[in-house]
Amino acid sequence: MKNIIKYTTIVFVAGLLMFSSCKEYLDVNTDPNNPTVVSPDLILPVAQKYTANILLASDGGGRRINTLGNMMMYNWSQSDGFAWYPDEFKYLVNSSFYQSIFEDSYGNALKQYTVLEGLGTEYDNYKAIAMIMKTYHFQLLVDIYGDVPYSEALLRGENTAPAYDDAQTIYEDLIVKLTSAIALIKTTSENVAAETPKGDVMFDGDMTKWIQFANTMKLRILTRQMSMTGRETYIQTQFTAIAAEGSGFMTEDVAINPGYIAGTEGKQNPFWNLYGTDAGGTQTLTSKATCATDYILDYLTTQTNDPRVDFIYEEPTTGHLGVPQGLLDYDTPTPDAYVPELVSNIGPGILKSADQSAVIYTLAECYLNQAEAALNIYTAGNAKSLYEAGVQASFTYLGAGDATAYLGQAIENVSWDSSTDKLEAIITQKWIATNGLTAEQAWFDYSRTGFPAGLPISQLASTDDRPVRLFYPASELTTNTANVPTQANAFTAKIFWAN
């Protein structure tokens, strides 16, 4: 009953906060988003719910960032009888391709976090949380688009046509913002009357975990730049500051749960609601349409004997079967070979239940990012131990048990000692660990490193490789024409950290 009340309140407030016009998504209005009317303990869970929706799936069933990552990284394909992913298979990047990522980030999540950030000093913990979460979203936006509105964005009616900031400049300011948020939390904690944030559906008001998450966000930002030349001193300075701060990184998966309820219309986990079953328990069409590729199944079974395959992908009674991306002739090798009942759809380790929490940052990635930092001697950690901890964290989340036997195989990119290129091993394992969860992180890593090596492209692709960025949405081209940069080539113009 408590969860039902909590979720109903969140949905009601979400309705209030979404009432403003979509075309004003870079403008935080005072009505109805007025913090004197809606208290921060109601704004925060709504903002966090939007965060989960932008990453995983919208309440209306729209595909979001994780779906894009799974398509770009050749994790997912399409079963026979569906024409579900034609644009993804063609890499049809244009101003309408996944445009909701940009629009929903500014119009929903960032908008609400900005309201929280503007509160008075009596709400400093809420403000710090908002600063950290804005960093989370702005990094994703930079990683997907490059230059984006930042310093002039979200200024209410003061500026409805914000300028675009340089991507690397934004990255550096994100570190500054995270440092400021940590300092604000620590200053607030010294006040015995400091209020514990209510309505926090990520960490339940545990501000130590928020500091650790801020450090973990710094870790992701710094790791993304490790392939760049000339950034070594900057990166080392920032890692030294993280160590001096002393709180460390996250020790659990970072997840959001506003009170998802199984079997209730509009209240199920949105990812489950899109790729699992509807509130009535009927398997969704998207669930039937979405399946593994042939390549990822072969990699996990034949090449690496990875027991996670049965958790990442459902195994039909006839055995695992994947479909090449962009396959048009489904009658080869035999008619009806690739119907939903015979192919490997999304598995039970990813689709756990309708009330499951929405993971936005995996513990596996946290450990593997630390492994890369240690490999590059930016930290004192043991790269091998962190690598193996990352793999075990993936096994644990999926429910696949102990990873010791798997890691003990003398196979490249499985056993640390047997891997000739340690960075390739780290990135390859991150590709597997984020499959189905936060797969966009593997897409960014691929653009940065070229790993995992040998990854196929769709049969419908007209280019030699997958896109490295998205186009700015049509809505921006219409409403902010003077400021939108000349659109860079989506296949060759890499984000700054990949050049």
Report how far apart, in Å, the C-alpha atoms of 377 and of each of 321, 374, 389, 426 are: 41, 5, 18, 15
Distance in angstroms (rounded) separating the CA atoms of residues 211 and 100: 30
Alpha helices in 29-163 (DSSP H): 40-55, 65-72, 86-89, 100-104, 110-117, 124-145
Tell whether the model's pLDDT for residue 9 goes beyond 50: no
Q: Torsion angle of alpha carbons 8, 11, 17, 19, nearest 10°? A: -110
Distance in angstroms (rounded) separating the CA atoms of residues 462 and 196: 53
pTM exceeding the 0.95 threshold for the entire prediction:
no
Q: What is the rounded average pLDDT of the residues 424-432?
A: 98
Tell whether the model's pLDDT for residue 27 goes beyond 60: no
Distance in angstroms (rounded) separating the CA atoms of residues 376 and 224: 13
Tell whether the model's pLDDT for residue 21 goes beyond 80: no
Asked whether 403 and 388 are in contact (CB, 8 A), the reply is yes
Q: How many CB atoms lie within 10 A of CB 215?
A: 22
Please state which of the ranges 6-15, 39-48, 74-83, 160-169 shows the lowest mean pLDDT: 6-15
Report how far apart, in Å, the C-alpha atoms of 303 and of each of 323, 347, 450 are: 17, 20, 19
Tell whether the model's pLDDT for residue 28 goes beyond 50: no
Distance in angstroms (rounded) separating the CA atoms of residues 268 and 392: 29
Kindly report, residue by residue over 60-100, the tens digit of the pLDDT: 889 999 999 999 999 999 999 999 999 999 999 999 999 99
Pairing label, strands 76-78, 290-292: antiparallel
Tell whether the model's pLDDT for residue 7 goes beyond 50: no
Residue with tokens 């570190």: 175
Confidence band, pLDDT 50/70/90 cuts, at residue 498: very high
Q: What is the rounded average pLDDT of the residues 486-491?
A: 97
Confidence band, pLDDT 50/70/90 cuts, at residue 333: confident
Q: Is 319 left (phi over 0), alpha (psi -120 to 50) or beta?
A: left
Kindly report, residue by residue over 349-365, the tens digit of the pLDDT: 999 999 999 999 999 99
Helix (H) or strand (E) holding 177: helix 167-189
Instruction: Please give the distance of CA 395 from its chain centroid, rounded to a whole number.
Output: 19
Buried b (16+ CB within 10 A) or exposed e, 292-303: bbbbbbebbbee
Q: What is residue 300's three-state secondary structure?
A: helix
Asked whether 51 and 217 are in contact (CB, 8 A), the reply is no
